[in-house]
């Protein structure tokens, strides 16, 4: 993967799509074929960036370590090579969630691919005790913001949306848009499933003045339904497009990414100004990164699946 330096050119409006799909569990080849088919459909409709769900090539609710190892592949690898070829054919970029085989463990990852190949990768840092996240390793790489010809794209995955620090870090690094592959299971007994698309996605976009492209999955695995409701959200927290709770579909919107670079607002110089990032009181935020402030929540996870 090539490290690219940020440039200051103002981005142009970009046509972004999210592909809401129902991956077939354990059928990686079939899922890759379907992803490429949807990528072509979105490109034909003018999309320049297409975001797919979390674990789009494998499915999510698995507890079989043998299957996990079978479904994981390196980045770059066969799937990203096929995606790169498709991106070159249609001159698009895409973000996809997949199981990554690292050098020492398996990760729940998101990858950004363009016509020239893999541009960036992110390994999921926040892991709930659910599905295959019980088996994979915590990602410890920095939160990724990638420079593309379209603009600056940040990467996060699903559960990360519940941690406001993630979106803030990506915004501080210059992200214009945060692409978030997700697999939101419907957990009515624990919390209303609508909390994330009704509140959290909008809040993360608005409080950081960034665009969000959230691609969720639909369908069921082992009798557990997924929420759907994929979204494209603007810098004001307005939902520009939203998917259903059951149907596979492609959602699109034109995003003026230049709006994400406006963090300072001077209404009357010296009298009425707001500087959303410049006014932060970082001298008061030390408890945010102090693990002893809330130590009882530390969850001891068993060792993640290592590659043998």
pLDDT of the residue at 291? 86
Note the pLDDT of residue 308: 41
Query: Is residue 48 within 8 Å of 93, Cβ to Cβ?
Result: yes
Most confident of 6-10, 37-41, 143-147: 37-41
Summarize the confidence of residues 81-107 as an average pLDDT: 98
pLDDT number for residue 144: 81
Beta bridge partners of 275: 264
**pLDDT(156) > 50:** yes
**124 has catalytic annotation:** yes
Residue 47 reports pLDDT greater than 50 = yes
Q: What is the pLDDT of residue 192?
A: 72
Token pair recorded at residue 138? 């915590």
Average pLDDT, the chain: 92
Q: Would you state the CATH architecture of domain 14-297?
A: 4-Layer Sandwich (3.60)
| pLDDT given at position 11 | 83
Q: Show the 3-state SS of the chain.
A: CCCCCCCCCCCCCEEEEEEEECCCCCCHHHHHHHHHHHHHHHHHCCCCEEECCCCCCCCCCCCCHHHHHHHCECCCCHHHHHHHHHHHHHCCEEEEEEEEECCCEEEEEEEEEECCEEEEEEECCCCCCCHHHHCCCCCCCCCCEEECCCCEEEECCHHHHHCHHHHHHHHHCCCCEEEEECCCECCCCCCCCCHHHHHHHHHHHHHHCCEEEEECECCEECCEEECCCCEEECCCCCEEEECCCCCCEEEEEEECHHHHHCCEEEEECCCEEEECCCCCCHHHCHHHHCHHHCHHHCCCCCCCCECC
Average pLDDT over residues 79-106: 98
pLDDT of 157 strictly over 60:
yes
138-142, 224-228, 231-235, 303-307: lowest mean pLDDT where? 303-307
Q: What percent of the chain has pLDDT over 90?
A: 83
- In this predicted model, what pLDDT tens digit does every residue of 160-191 receive, in sequence order? 999 999 999 999 999 999 999 999 999 766 66
Is 63 or 8 the better-scoring residue by pLDDT? 63
- Over residues 262-286, the pLDDT tens digits come to 999 999 999 999 999 999 999 999 9
Give CA–CA dist 300/216, Å, rounded. 28
User: Annotated catalytic residue: which of 55, 73, 124, 146?
Assistant: 124
Q: Under a CB-based contact definition with an 8 Å cutoff, are residues 62 and 132 in contact?
A: yes
Q: Which candidate in 55, 87, 146, 158 is catalytic?
A: 158
Could you say which of 54, 73, 100, 221 is catalytic?
Answer: 54
CB-based contact 228:218 (threshold 8 Å):
yes
Is 54 designated active site? yes
Domain ranges of the chain: 14-297
pLDDT digits (tens, 9 = 90+) for 221-259: 988 999 999 999 999 999 999 999 999 999 999 999 999
263 catalytic? Reply is no
């Amino acid at each position: 993967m090539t490290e690219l330096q940020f440039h200051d050119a103002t981005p142009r409006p970009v046509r972004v799509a999210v592909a809401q799909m129902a991956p077939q569990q354990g059928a990686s080849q079939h899922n890759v074929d379907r992803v490429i088919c949807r990528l072509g459909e979105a490109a034909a409709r003018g999309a320049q960036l297409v975001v797919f769900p979390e674990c789009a090539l494998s499915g999510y609710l698995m507890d079989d370590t043998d299957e996990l190892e079978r479904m994981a592949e390196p980045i770059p690898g066969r799937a990203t090579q096929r995606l790169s070829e498709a991106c070159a054919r249609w001159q698009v970029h895409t973000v996809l969630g997949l199981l990554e085989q690292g050098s020492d463990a398996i990760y729940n990852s998101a990858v950004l691919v363009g016509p020239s190949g893999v541009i960036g990768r992110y390994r999921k840092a926040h892991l709930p005790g659910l599905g295959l996240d019980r088996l994979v390793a915590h990602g410890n790489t920095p939160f990724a913001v990638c420079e593309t010809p379209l603009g600056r794209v940040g990467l996060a995955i699903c559960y990360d949306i519940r941690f406001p620090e993630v979106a803030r870090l990506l915004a501080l690094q210059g992200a214009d848009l945060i692409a978030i592959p997700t697999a939101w299971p419907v957990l009515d007994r624990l919390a209303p499933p609508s909390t994330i698309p009704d509140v959290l996605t909008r809040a993360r976009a608005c409080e950081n003045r960034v665009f969000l492209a959230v691609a969720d999955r639909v369908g069921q695995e082992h009798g557990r339904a997924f929420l759907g409701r994929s979204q494209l959200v603007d810098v004001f927290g307005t939902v520009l497009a939203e998917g259903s709770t059951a149907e596979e579909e492609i959602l699109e919107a034109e995003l003026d990414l230049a709006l994400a670079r406006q963090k300072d607002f001077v209404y009357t110089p010296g009298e009425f100004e707001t500087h959303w990032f410049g006014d932060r009181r970082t001298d008061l935020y030390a408890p945010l990164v102090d693990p002893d402030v809330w130590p009882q929540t530390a969850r001891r996870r068993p060792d993640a699946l290592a590659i043998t």
